[in-house]
Amino acid sequence: MKDRPKRTAALSPPGDDETAPLPGSFLVVQGGRIEVDGAPGALRIGSDPQVIGRAPGCALTVADDTVSAVHAEVRATPKGVRLRDMGSRNGTFVGPKGGDARISEAVLSAPCVGRFGARRFRFVPEPAETLVLERPNRFGGLVGSTPEMLALFATLQRYARGELSVVIRGETGTGKERVARAIHESSPRRAGPFVALNCGAIPENLIESELFGVKKGAFTGADHDRPGLFLEADGGTLFFDEVAEMAKALQSKLLRVLEHQEVRPVGGHRTRRVDVRTVFATHADLRLSVNEGRFRQDLYFRIAQINVEIPPLRQRLADLPLLLSDVLADLGRSDVHVDPDALAMLRARPWPGNIRELRTHLQLALEGSRAEGVTLSQALATTRLKDSVARATTYEGARREFDRGYYTELNIKHAGNVSKIAEEAGRERSTVRTLLRALGLRTDVPADQDPKRKPSSAARRARLPAKKR
């Protein structure tokens, strides 16, 4: 039986005090170093996430078959070094004897030993590091004062001006595109174009021509030359949203373009140089996808030169006053007073839709409260979003209720037009149609299950008995 991940007293589990707001324009983090038996040198751990594994691109490469390609991640935090197992096959263990507890995530704050698979390691804490922020509590359109957000701002401020490729990870609604735009606007490329592509919203057979362009006559319907998004983003930034959904066949073509900075349109014979910085976003963990064989290892290390993670709203509730002030100003309702009762109500919600859900919640509440000087708690009393989200006992239950409220509003707004709903939600049309049916917002049946629909000629042929030879 597989060992169940757990925590032990030798570790410092992440606690609520990690999310307490810090004043000022600096953040103190506790780092350390990890030494693995048989691996050259030691890995010094700072505020940027680093990975340990068997793959050559890891910050610390461990040549051992019991170690996964991307085995674990380490990062300095105010409480110590966060060690996170990346879904490895043989596990990450920490304890007095190096193998007492299999962990999924823990914070190392004192000297200890452990192992990655069968390979032993030693952890030694080092003096704290002070991260200085140029603009406290804000980066581009992002606001926050919790340690996780301050560490994110410090990383973005350090690398936005460069050319390194960035992978942004975060749940739906956390603001991944906002981070990508902030990186672009803080870089020397700010005068160039910012072009976005949602990899999950474009059919697989069209995404190649969308990226690289197409020559006239390349396929039926290609009646003129069309430049791809790489050429549109020339001199600027190309943002790939939900990159984990990209097909394996396209991943290899993307890798070649990134390595050579040249594109060749579908049906074309000549390549053209492009000057593009790439930023990627995903709600999934690409390192898990690498270990499971769903994402190319070489492409991952090419695009993930910098890794950043946006914490979900439920883990940064101390930021609610800042976020509310920001969203209310954006909605033109700075006159609304944020009272303690409103804060208490909002902190009680699980927020599966994160900042996007918060904004939608406030929009709906304020539609029924046009009077000036209204308190936020009075406005929230008029909200049309269902209270079942707040009563949900599990994250998945809360997520389902959020989906129901979110897509109900879009369904009403767009009068059931699936294409417009999918466009606003940033998801593929077929995915949205299926979701609307599951939520009971559409009563039509799939075409292939409609008893009144005549079968296609291919289906009719499939039912005919085979000819005798």
381 phi/psi in degrees, rounded to 5:
-65, -20
Those residues whose C-beta lies under 8 Å from the C-beta of residue 358, and which sit 6 or more positions away, are 313, 323, 324, 327, 346, 351
Q: Which neighbouring-strand residues pair with 68?
A: none
- 391 falls in which pLDDT band (50, 70, 90)? low
The average confidence (pLDDT) of the chain is 82
C-alpha–C-alpha distance, residues 22 and 82, integer Å: 19
70 phi/psi in degrees, rounded to 5:
-120, 100
Per-residue pLDDT, 449: 45
pLDDT digits (tens, 9 = 90+) for 13-67: 444 444 444 444 688 999 999 999 988 889 999 999 999 999 999 999 999 999 9
39 phi/psi in degrees, rounded to 5:
-95, 140
Taking a C-beta distance cutoff of 8 angstroms, is the pair 424, 409 a contact? no
For the chain, give every domain's residue range.
16-130, 160-309, 314-438
C-alpha–C-alpha distance, residues 160 and 185, integer Å: 9
pLDDT digits (tens, 9 = 90+) for 99-118: 578 999 999 999 999 999 99
On the question of a common fold for 16-130 and 160-309, the answer reads: no
Taking a C-beta distance cutoff of 8 angstroms, is the pair 280, 243 a contact? yes
C-alpha–C-alpha distance, residues 181 and 386, integer Å: 32
pLDDT digits (tens, 9 = 90+) for 285-306: 999 999 999 999 999 999 999 9
Question: Chain-centre distance of CA 221, in angstroms?
Answer: 35
149 is written with which tokens? 């957000």
Per-residue pLDDT, 366: 85
Segment (H or E) for 27: strand 26-29
Biggest distance spanned by C-alpha atoms of the chain: 86
DSSP structural state of residue 346: H
pTM: 0.75
Helix (H, G, I), strand (E, B) or coil at 155: helix
Which candidate, 272, 277, 271, 241, places its Cα nearest to that of 258?
277
C-alpha–C-alpha distance, residues 434 and 376, integer Å: 36
Residue 172 has pLDDT above 50, yes or no: yes
450 is written with which tokens? 């409609």
Work out the average pLDDT over 120-132: 91
58 is written with which tokens? 């890891």
Those residues whose C-beta lies under 8 Å from the C-beta of residue 469, and which sit 6 or more positions away, are none
Taking a C-beta distance cutoff of 8 angstroms, is the pair 85, 20 a contact? no
Right CATH for 16-130 from 2.60.200.20, 3.40.470.10, 3.30.300.20, 3.40.640.10: 2.60.200.20
231 is written with which tokens? 């050429």
Please state the three-class secondary structure of 408-444 as a single string.
HHHHHHCCCCHHHHHHHHCCCHHHHHHHHHHCCCCCC
Beta pairing class for 237-241 and 277-282: parallel
The topology under which CATH files domain 160-309 is: Rossmann fold (3.40.50)
Residue 95 has pLDDT above 90, yes or no: no
Helix (H, G, I), strand (E, B) or coil at 57: coil
